[in-house]
Amino acid sequence: MKTDRFKPTTVYTIYIASTPEKVWQALTSAEFSRKYFFGNAVEVDLKAGGAYIVRQGDGSVHISGEVIECVTARKLTVTFNVNWPELVEKLGPTLVSYEIEPAGEAVRLTMTESHDRPLDDDILSGGRQGWPAILSSLKSLLETGEPLVIQMAPPQRMLAALKRIGIKTP
Amino acid sequence: MSKPEFVYVTYIETTAEKLWHALTDGDFTERYWFGARLKSDWKVGSTFEMVRSDGTVSDAGKVVEVDPPRRLAYTFVNLSDKYKNEFPALATFVLEPYGKLVKLTLTHEGFAEQSRFYAGISKGWPAILSSLKSLLETGKALEIPYAALKFEN
Amino acid sequence: MDEVFKALADASRRSLLDRLHARNGQTLNELCDGLAMTRQAVTKHLAVLEAANLVTTFRHGREKLHYLNPVPIHQIGERWIRKFERGKLTALSELKRQLEKRDE
């Protein structure tokens, strides 16, 4: 899949006292991700074209996509499509890229969310609300051994915007 | 034609009071703010300074809003030749309790479109606030060398 | 707010603010350069602007740098200009609506 037409809409950078390998493991393992990703488990086949799945606690698939680029402990780019009917048809695919770089004794993790067409800020607000929470929790998990318990309200602005364009959300 | 604005949200396991103290006390800031001591009496209208370890002042500003431990806002400029002619931009910290956590939202706005300082602060804030979070949660700030931020010359 | 309006009510002081808007963080020498005002006059005007919080100064080594403080002007914009603009725009769109109704 050609990714040049994708443009970044949300970028989040966080520094973590850990190693690139541990951060990579946290991003790609079901066991770790369940702890910081609101109970969702990441299942990924780490090769170009491999499946990328985020499974909810009840076993249902919440997000699905494929691996676009995979460099162990350095870079992971996936398509990241929430499984709501007509979402991809109406809004296009979502690309998520994680870059891991050493920064002294810490690691810099940069998450970039990109889209292939301009999207309303209301639509993007869901991700903008979620990413800082997910990545803050990942950082705490790696540094203290415990994730953060963040009771996040559903992203109302985004849900209302999706409803307006006819996308049914749970 | 929109002016550049930087927003950063982080969730920290701490209390709003502890976080407020960490943002405004020089002994604390020295540990996570690349060695800078923030110095002010934190009254609206007062100036504040960021003082380097060698005693020189790197940035100076004005306190705009003080509502402990919920909102803190100040404008500041970097006094180096490269940035000293820029317009002071406004940095606002909002501290919201979130169960046992505090949600910290930093908005840095008011930069001119051609601001070069904006590029610098966009790289600096994630490092400073990540280090602050580590310090409050683990007792140890992050060891990030300045060079790792890759500021352009 | 009175001191702000009084400070702005002088053309020389407004021209100093324009200079700082074009390039912020100037020393007294830089501000005086090329101006028809005497250094003494500039100093007096800067003092009025500083008292009105329109200009702030920061010490940088042996120099004193003058900065346009954006906050009072922003407050004037919000309190006095934007609300009148909003009123004007609503009146214009209402007029347009009335005219369009008549054409139907």
Residues of B in contact with A143 (CB under 8 A): 134, 137-138
Query: Is C65 at the interface with chain B, CB within 8 A?
Result: yes
Name the token pair of B43.
Answer: 């009254």
- From A14, A17, A148, residue closest to B13, measured CB to CB: A148
Query: Which pLDDT band holds residue B127 (cuts at 50, 70, 90)?
Result: very high
Tell me: pLDDT of A66 over 90: yes
Buried b (16+ CB within 10 A) or exposed e, A65-92: bbbbebeebeebbbbbbbeeeebbeebe
Mean pLDDT of A100-124: 96
Tell me, yes or no, if C90 comes closer than 8 A to chain B by beta carbon.
no
Reported as a pLDDT band with limits 50, 70 and 90, residue A123 is very high
Q: Which of B45, B88, B110 sits opposite C67 (nearest CB)?
A: B88
Question: Looking at residue C36, what is its pLDDT?
Answer: 87
Q: Of C16, C76, C55, whose CA–CA distance to B62 is shortest?
A: C55
What percent of chain A shows pLDDT beyond 90?
92
pLDDT the model gives residue B45: 87
* pTM value > 0.90: no
Please report where in the chains the tokens 């869901």 appear, as a residue: A126
pLDDT in tens, B72-110: 999 999 999 899 888 888 999 999 998 899 999 999 998
Asked if the C-beta of B95 comes within 8 angstroms of chain C's C-beta atoms, the answer is no
- Please tell me the distance from the alpha carbon of residue A112 to that of residue A95, in angstroms, as a whole number: 8
Residue A86: pLDDT band (50, 70, 90) is: very high
Which chains, if any, share at least 3 CB pairs under 8 A with chain A? B
Question: For position A132, what pLDDT does the model report?
Answer: 97
What residues of chain B lie within 8 A of the CB of A133, using their CB? 11
Write down the mean pLDDT value for chain B.
93
**Could B134 and A137 be called an inter-chain contact, meaning their C-beta atoms sit closer than 8 Å?**
no
Say what the pLDDT of residue A151 is.
Answer: 87
